Amino acid sequence: MGGVGEPDWEPAQRGAPLPTLRWEQVRRHNLPGDKWLVIERRVYDISRWAQRHPGGSRLIGHHGAEDATDAFHAFHQDLSFVRKFLQPLLIGELAPEEPSQDGPQNTQLIEDFRALRQAVEDMKLFEAKPAFFGLLLGHILAMEVLAWLMIYLLGPGWLPSILAALILAVSQAQSWCLQHDLGHTSIFRNSRWNHLAQQFVMGQLKGFSAHWWNFRHFQHHAKPNIFHKDPDVTVAPVFLLGESSIEYGKKKRRYLPYNHQHLYFFLIGPPLLTLVNFEVENLAYMLVCMQWTDLLWAASFYARFLLSYVPFYGIPGALLLFVAVRVLESHWFVWITQMNHIPREIGHEKHRDWASSQLAATCNVEPSLFIDWFSGHLNFQIEHHLFPTMPRHNYRRVAPLVKALCAKHGLSYEVKPFLTALVDIVRSLKKSGNVWLEAYLHQ
């Protein structure tokens, strides 16, 4: 069944008991084209099926030769439906004397987290409030209309144009949040409805590909702040984060003045991420992966935007307005999404359990009605990462339970003021740059 070499186990005959396997055997199958993983003590060969995985082969491949039980529960709503796809991949089960997890992991923490998840399910905190998300979509559409009416009624002068750009940027930011909810299938019970709605919000309201976003974002959730598995922190050689600072310093690599990266961050980070990096990466993904439906949705956004504003500004002016909105939106995206991650631990794979890995890479920001709305509830990053399919309006309710779990096991549950969280991004970049410089000069 494995993609490389001869099998080191005896496949089961139809109707016969499942072969028992040891972690030593499972551990050998974590190669390209040859991957096994463990879910609920059962061993699955995903070598050939990974390319068909709806979340992408990289996402499921990141859990190769690991116990993926908690990740399996975190990413899927309808487990009975998903198990139908797992059954043909089943090749064995862990031997009775084998632990459920490989390596030195906190078994009691794992059990307590799973008990917490069951309690959360019993409290019905995975059930969404349709009115909440309906209001979110309504206020996004209202802002789109308001921006156009402002130019229509007041003309394309400087002041109306600036106000319209600000309103459109807020609308774009809130659209990021809504499509994010849909991508995590946290609104509709039927995952197909979530995916269709996400294509509309991401495509028609933003001009991006839903499949592209899910491809990169699910990897981030599976292995947050892990180099070469989380695209959000695999940013070298432009920026050095966490352990990469020491590595680059020791190897005498100096592609940029990294001891000043906290300064050039303001020039190429917040202003250009959405306008340049995301636009190019998104278009390349749609073309290479032949996501033609997403491409049509994205084209409909640009057609609508140009048809709405070219009559007032002409083509150059409409493009300038588009760039202004993207740059403003990009600032929001970088600061809001990275304030919970960049200041945390960043490095190579540690093979931690689900709860420990998520808590090591995230922190929260003090809640308020404004911050909750402005950040799309991403200020509750800890709760979001532990329970990614949970509707965001329930984060406040689950937060005390998560905090109690962390206190019991001595885990960090960090909550910062909003401005401190923003400043910590720059502090972390400066610290990483100084670590690089010290290693560069003294090795």
Query: Is residue 378 within 8 Å of 337, Cβ to Cβ?
Result: yes
Please state which CATH number belongs to domain 20-104.
3.10.120.10
Alpha carbon separation from 279 to 97, 230, 273, 276, 334 (Å, rounded): 51, 19, 9, 5, 15
Q: Where are the alpha helices (DSSP H) in 155-259?
A: 158-183, 191-199, 210-222, 243-250
HSE-CB of 382 using CA atoms within 13 angstroms = 27
Which tens digit of pLDDT belongs to each residue from 5-45? Answer: 445 555 555 566 889 999 999 999 999 889 999 999 999 99
User: Is residue 287's pLDDT more than 90?
Assistant: yes
For the chain, the domains span 20-104, 106-442
Q: How far is residue 36's CA from residue 386's CA, in Å, rounded to a whole number?
A: 24
Residues 52-60: contacts with CB within 8 Å, 24+ apart?
55/214, 55/215, 55/218, 56/214, 56/215, 56/218, 56/219, 58/215, 58/219, 58/229, 59/215, 59/218, 59/219, 59/222, 60/35
304-322 per-position pLDDT tens digit: 999 999 999 999 999 999 9
Tell me the one-letter amino acid at 418. Answer: F
Task: Render pLDDT for 375-417 as a digit per residue (tens, 0 to 9).
Answer: 999 999 999 999 999 999 999 999 999 999 999 999 999 999 9
Amino acid letter, 70: D
Distance, CA of 173 to CA of 165 (rounded, Å): 12
pLDDT in tens, 193-205: 999 999 999 999 9
| Amino acid (1-letter code) at residue 359 | L
How far, in Å, CA of 409 to CA of 109, rounded? 7
Round to whole Å and give the CA distance between 125 and 123: 5
C-beta of residue 239 within 8 angstroms of C-beta of residue 429: yes
DSSP assigned state of 275: I
pLDDT in tens, 330-383: 999 999 999 999 999 999 999 999 999 999 999 999 999 999 999 999 999 999
Which pTM was predicted?
0.92
Structure tokens at 248: 């680059």
Q: Is 395 exposed, middle or buried (0-12, 13-18, 19+ CB in 10 A)?
A: buried
